[in-house]
């Protein structure tokens, strides 16, 4: 087995092991979602379980109705600008954090109205951070919660409240101080089994559907059945009329629908999303695979291409060019060619227009036509030595040096 084959086999084996471990971690760490159809009273949903119809109705009849997609710790208080007068929380699938509950209590004490439609009182998580509500550890649907398992938001203000079991839908004529005048029919499937001293503001038959809980200057309107805001219930009853009158009767401020606790938070930046992904089992697996890949590259010195020499910087030195040509002519023993090249370069430098001398031209005549400028002796030396090379005689090294020196003196003299 060659080293390359062994390395590939090692890498494939390590990758397979990490993939298996990743799948095992994901299967043990990921909580199964019991809400298979994602049915919830959210204003983003248009199916019978959604609540988009109520949002559209309120936007038609009330001045300002919006969705709220941030933790409740960012909710403006009564003394702050743009503070809402009513917050509607319908069937939240995420628990509320301790910090959110404390901030919500201050908002209620300042005069806010919370319309909470919940079948379990909205459980509180044990964390206090602003992102507690997104924790899968404490995020549960009402059907997953035990009545006495966790502290709830309503238990802070109305401990004796309890709910009846979920039954089939019923549509009956309702009564109560919160209902507008006229024949109002409500549709529900769950009510309060026990209210004690809480003020019942909506009742149908013998079932208490909503109670009012005062909180300093504000109040909580607790509705027993979160499905009363659903699109399906609004088509078959006057639930929308009742809910719009509840919101309109409390102040003239903005009305917010909480979507953050339905899982529809505001979009976050790339860095926050990457950090949130790396905190999941799949993100941990990606980090482990990346570390294994880097370790493999370090241990086996793997390269991503062939070894190549770095490119040499381009240089243009006249002295190097002269040495290269001289070495070539010396190796070839081409004294005649060297003499002709010197004469051609001399004629090109001394002629007025620096014209190029064509190959095969009469170099003796070209030398005779050059201006002397005080260099008669040098021209005579050039003509004599050039004639010797043209007749086939061999120049000595001294004579070749004198030939080049005479040409150089003529060029220098022309520049003075």
- CATH (domain of 178): 3.40.50
Q: Choose one of 266, 294, 327: the last residue of a domain.
A: 266
**Residue 311 covered by a domain:** no
**Residue 229 covered by a domain:** yes
**Residue 7 covered by a domain:** no
Query: Within this chain, do residues 219 and 81 fall inside the same structural domain, yes or no?
Result: yes
**Each residue of 19-51: pLDDT tens digit?**
887 777 766 654 544 444 467 899 999 999 999
Query: Within this chain, do residues 85 and 170 fall inside the same structural domain, yes or no?
Result: yes
Please enumerate, as own/partner, the contacts of 405-408 that have beta carbons within 8 Å and a separation of 24 or more.
406/378, 406/379, 406/381, 406/382, 407/342, 407/343, 407/345, 407/346, 407/378, 407/382
Query: Within this chain, do residues 75 and 204 fall inside the same structural domain, yes or no?
Result: yes
Helix %, strand %, coil % for the chain, to 5? 45, 15, 40
Give the pLDDT of residue 357: 62
Q: Which residues constitute the domain of residue 183?
A: 21-29+36-266
CA–CA gap between residue 258 and residue 287 (Å, rounded)? 35
Query: Within this chain, do residues 227 and 358 fall inside the same structural domain, yes or no?
Result: no
Tell me how many degrees the CA angle 144-146-149 measures, rounded to the nearest 5: 120
**Residue 51 covered by a domain:** yes
The answer, yes or no, to whether residue 145 has pLDDT greater than 90, is no
Average pLDDT over residues 92-117: 94
Query: Which residue in this structure is represented by tokens 């806010």?
Result: 112
Write out the E strands in 122-206: 162-163, 170-175, 185-188, 192-194, 199-204
Query: Within this chain, do residues 257 and 346 fall inside the same structural domain, yes or no?
Result: no
Query: Within this chain, do residues 240 and 359 fall inside the same structural domain, yes or no?
Result: no
Query: Within this chain, do residues 192 and 339 fall inside the same structural domain, yes or no?
Result: no
**Each residue of 293-313: pLDDT tens digit?**
888 777 776 666 666 777 777
Query: Within this chain, do residues 117 and 187 fall inside the same structural domain, yes or no?
Result: yes
CA–CA gap between residue 317 and residue 322 (Å, rounded)? 9
Res. 343 pLDDT band, cuts 50 70 90 = confident
Q: Choose one of 243, 266, 289: the last residue of a domain.
A: 266
DSSP H helical ranges for 114-229: 153-157
**Each residue of 47-62: pLDDT tens digit?**
999 999 999 999 999 9
**Residue 343 covered by a domain:** yes
**Each residue of 237-295: pLDDT tens digit?**
999 999 999 999 998 889 999 999 988 886 666 776 787 677 778 888 888 888 888 88
**What mean pLDDT, rounded, does the chain reach?**
82
**Residue 367 covered by a domain:** yes
**Residue 68 covered by a domain:** yes
Instruction: Tell me the two tokens of residue 187.
Output: 């549709």
**Each residue of 116-132: pLDDT tens digit?**
999 999 999 876 554 44
Give the pLDDT of residue 330: 73
Query: Within this chain, do residues 99 and 194 fall inside the same structural domain, yes or no?
Result: yes
Query: Within this chain, do residues 59 and 203 fall inside the same structural domain, yes or no?
Result: yes
User: What is the tally of structural domains in the chain?
Assistant: 2
**Residue 16 covered by a domain:** no
Instruction: Tell me the two tokens of residue 251.
Output: 């102040």
């Amino acid at each position: 087995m060659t080293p390359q084959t062994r390395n590939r086999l090692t890498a494939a084996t390590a990758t397979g092991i990490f993939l298996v471990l990743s799948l095992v971690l994901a299967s043990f760490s990921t909580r199964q979602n019991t809400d298979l159809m994602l049915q919830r009273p959210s204003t983003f949903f248009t199916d019978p379980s959604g609540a988009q119809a109520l949002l559209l109705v309120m936007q038609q009849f009330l001045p300002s109705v919006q969705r709220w997609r941030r933790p409740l710790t960012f909710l403006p208080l009564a003394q702050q600008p743009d503070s809402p007068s009513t917050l509607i929380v319908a069937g939240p699938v995420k628990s509320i954090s301790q910090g959110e509950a404390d901030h919500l209590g201050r908002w209620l004490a300042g005069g806010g109205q919370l319309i909470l439609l919940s079948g379990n009182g909205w459980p509180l998580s044990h964390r206090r951070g602003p992102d507690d509500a997104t924790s899968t550890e404490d995020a549960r649907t009402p059907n997953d919660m035990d009545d006495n398992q966790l502290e709830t938001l309503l238990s802070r203000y109305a401990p004796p409240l309890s709910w009846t079991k979920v039954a089939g839908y019923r549509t009956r004529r309702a009564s109560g101080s919160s209902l507008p005048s006229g024949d109002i029919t409500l549709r529900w499937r769950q009510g309060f089994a026990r209210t004690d001293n809480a003020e019942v503001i909506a009742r149908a038959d013998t079932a208490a559907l909503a109670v009012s809980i005062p909180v300093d200057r504000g109040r909580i309107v607790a509705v027993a059945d979160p499905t009363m805001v659903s699109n399906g219930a609004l088509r078959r009853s006057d639930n929308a009329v009742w809910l719009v009158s509840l919101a309109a009767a409390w102040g003239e401020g903005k009305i917010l629908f909480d979507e953050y606790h339905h899982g529809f938070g505001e979009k976050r930046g790339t860095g926050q999303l990457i950090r949130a992904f790396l905190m999941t089992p799949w993100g941990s697996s990606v980090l482990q695979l990346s570390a294994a890949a880097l370790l493999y590259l370090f241990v086996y010195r793997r390269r991503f291409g062939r070894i190549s020499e770095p490119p040499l910087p381009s240089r243009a030195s006249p002295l190097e060019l002269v040495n290269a040509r001289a070495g070539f002519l010396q190796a070839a023993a081409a004294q005649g060619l060297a003499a002709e090249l010197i004469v051609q370069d001399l004629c090109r430098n001394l002629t007025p227009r620096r014209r190029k001398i064509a190959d095969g031209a009469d170099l003796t005549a070209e030398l005779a036509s050059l201006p002397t400028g005080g260099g008669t002796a040098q021209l005579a030396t050039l003509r004599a030595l050039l004639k010797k090379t043209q007749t086939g005689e061999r120049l000595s090294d001294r004579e070749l040096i004198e030939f080049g020196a005479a040409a150089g003196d003529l060029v220098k003299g022309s520049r003075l």
